A and B are shown apart, each in its own frame.
Chain A
Amino acid sequence: MLRILFTRLRQEEKLLLEAARRLGLDVALEDVKDRVWGGVGADDDVYLCRCIGHGQNLALARHLEGQGRRVVNPASVMELCGDKLATTAALEAASIAQPAYRLALSEEGALAAAEEIGYPAVFKPVTGSWGRLLAKVNDREAAEAVIEHKAHLGAHHQIFYVQEYVEKSGSDVRAFVVGGEPICAIRRESAHWITNTARGGRASNQVVAGELEELLRRVHGAVGGDFLAVDLFGTDSGWLVNEVNDGAEFRNSIAPTGVDIPEAVVRHCAGLGR
């Protein structure tokens, strides 16, 4: 059986359920936020973890894997994708091009990092999504202000990840990889420098072929996983991988690409059953 686990029912989880039913799969959609875990033996089910909180999703995946269950995505992949610095390190180890970055562990170090990267610079939290708390910093004074504010946001924000600002002419690319195969991509356009469709970015189809397709396979080789969403910038010198997501939202990507993303995901999951 395929078990789709959620804590907040989004359009994506409903689409996954519908796709599984269309394929005639044995499937259950389960709200797990009030459930108690542990004490139950292993089974042959595949668990598609779609909890909206990354920490909860990872905790559940670790627990289920500890009991010998097959989880999508594996906990190790959630760990890599849920931590911006871990993703960066994995990509760097695989020599995959990404925007230049600096890591700093103090406010003084963060300012020096921004100066070294040059302005504009982008301050990113190492955890988080939907473009939350990203800060494009245009000069030293702005950097000082952002750093001072981050100092009050808790321990997670004392790891300063400073990235070069990539001029992307108003668009970037989000590509989907299922079972190691790049299946489709969208180009996201926005008047705002943050192009997430969750923040109002518009989507159109981006052909996946050649250099882009090969790069996506390399990203999968570096990160692993069953279902990835890879964010990229196209530049004059080639593609840069910006982020890799393990709990992708895809509702705005089906129509522009014409690809049934949820069906590809559940079909892949069905093939994992033992």
Chain B
Amino acid sequence: MTQVTCVVCEGQVTLPEGAMEGEILLCGDCGTELELVRLDPPAVEEAPQVQEDWGE
């Protein structure tokens, strides 16, 4: 079970099976959306905030 440290609260976030670079993870401790920017070793950054024209 691979884990990565939240860049906001330093909580441990578990990577889902088959995780891919660019995927969004949710920190269970602080609720921050994290972008998985690297897989090996895993690293995350705060995901960009939703913009006005995001969506379908």
Contacts and interface: CB of A to CB of B under 8 A. Distances in A.
B22 A129 contact: no
Contact of A128 (B22, B48, B53): B53
A209 interface: no
B41 interface: no
Interface stretch (A141-149, A165-173, A181-189, A243-251): A243-251
Nearest to B47: A8
Nearest to A54: B53
Contacts of B15: none
Interface in B21-49: 21-24, 35, 47-48
Interface residues of B, number: 15
Contacts of A14: 18, 20, 23
B56 A6 contact: no
Contact of B54 (A31, A53, A156, A246): A53
A9 B20 contact: yes
Contact of B52 (A8, A128, A245, A247): A128
A54 B55 CA distance: 7
A29 interface: yes
A231 B54 CA distance: 18
A129 B20 CA distance: 25
A6 B47 CA distance: 14
Given A8-B47, A8-B48, A52 B20 contact: no
A130 B56 contact: yes
B55 A8 contact: no
B54 A52 contact: yes
A190 interface: no
B10 to A, nearest CB: 24
Contacts of B23: 9, 14
Contacts of B56: 129-130, 229, 245-249
A43 to B, nearest CB: 23
A120 B42 CA distance: 50
Contacts of B20: 9, 14, 29
A217 B51 CA distance: 32
A158 interface: no
A53 B24 contact: no
27 contacts: A8-B35, A8-B48, A9-B20, A9-B21, A9-B22, A9-B24, A14-B18, A14-B20, A29-B20, A31-B22, A52-B54, A53-B53, A53-B54, A54-B53, A54-B54, A55-B53, A127-B52, A128-B53, A129-B54, A130-B55, A130-B56, A132-B52, A132-B55, A156-B52, A198-B55, A229-B56, A248-B56
- Nearest first, the 9 A-B pairs at minimum CB distance are A129-B55, A9-B22, A245-B56, A54-B53, A130-B55, A31-B22, A9-B23, A129-B56, A52-B54
Interface of B: 18, 20-24, 35, 47-48, 51-56
Interface of A: 6, 8-10, 14, 29, 31, 52-55, 82, 127-130, 132, 156, 198, 229, 245-249
